[in-house]
Amino acid sequence: MKRGKDQEEKSREDSQGEIKVTQEAIPEKKDQEAEEKPLEKCSKAELIEKIKKSQEESKNNYDLFLRSEADSENLKKRNKKEKEAWIKYANEKIAKDLLPVLDNLENAISHSKNEGSLDALREGVDLTLKGMKDTLTKSGLEEVKALDERFDPSFHHAVSEQEDEKVKAGLICHELQKGYTFNQRLIRPAMVVVSKGKPGDGPTPDDPSLE
């Protein structure tokens, strides 16, 4: 009896430290040892109990699997909706920035009707064009330099060549349509005419080939 009492007191003291030994832990250990008993040594009742526990664990694991699948599917749907919303409203800022341009254009048309003058319309259109360019430039749009520049097939699309006494061979003498880059990526090359130089001049060694 004294030995059992000492053991109980020791268990209480250890419960306040890192190692916790209680009387409830001993039967739990015995249960674990019983579960680890080889199947060939188990009785029929013990085997039936093991089967029931396995079935219960299997059911619980399957429920966890279904919940995980549902959470994963919900996460995919949520990400898909967020991506669709991001794509749908990606240009919202540009649209807001272009609203003043739209207002200026409407005002220019309105004033030109009231005053009956083309000058008011021309001035309004000029202001509108400037405002639109400023807005698009802030968004990353830039014009491709073309006129009087050396032809570069990476940024220019040559539609023809022509002789020009004032422009050296290989340089662009006419710009038919402006080209643009967006955040340094080409979105439309400039449509140009390339000078062949003075009549009778041959191509210079550093002239790019026009294909």
141-197 carries CATH number 2.40.110.10: no
Place of tokens 């449509």: 191
For residue 168, give both structure tokens: 């050296």
Q: Coil, helix or strand for 197?
A: strand
Enumerate the domain spans of the chain: 92-138, 141-197
The pLDDT assigned to 73 comes to 92
The pLDDT assigned to 186 comes to 94
User: What are the mean pLDDT values of the chain's consecutive 10-residue runs (211 residues total)?
Assistant: 50 47 46 62 81 90 92 92 86 82 79 68 82 88 93 95 90 94 92 86 51 47
For residue 132, count other CB atoms closer than 10 A to its CB: 18
185-188 and 156-163 strand pairing:
unpaired
How far is it, in rounded angstroms, from Cα 8 to Cα 32?
22
For residue 57, give both structure tokens: 């664990």
The tens digit of pLDDT for each residue in 132-167 reads 888 889 888 999 999 999 999 999 999 999 998 889
In the sheet where 190-197 sits, what is the strand order?
156-163, 190-197, 172-177
Best CA proximity match to 166, nearest among 176, 155, 174:
174
How far is it, in rounded angstroms, from Cα 201 to Cα 169?
8
Characterise 158 by phi-psi region: left (phi > 0), alpha (psi -120 to 50), beta (else).
beta
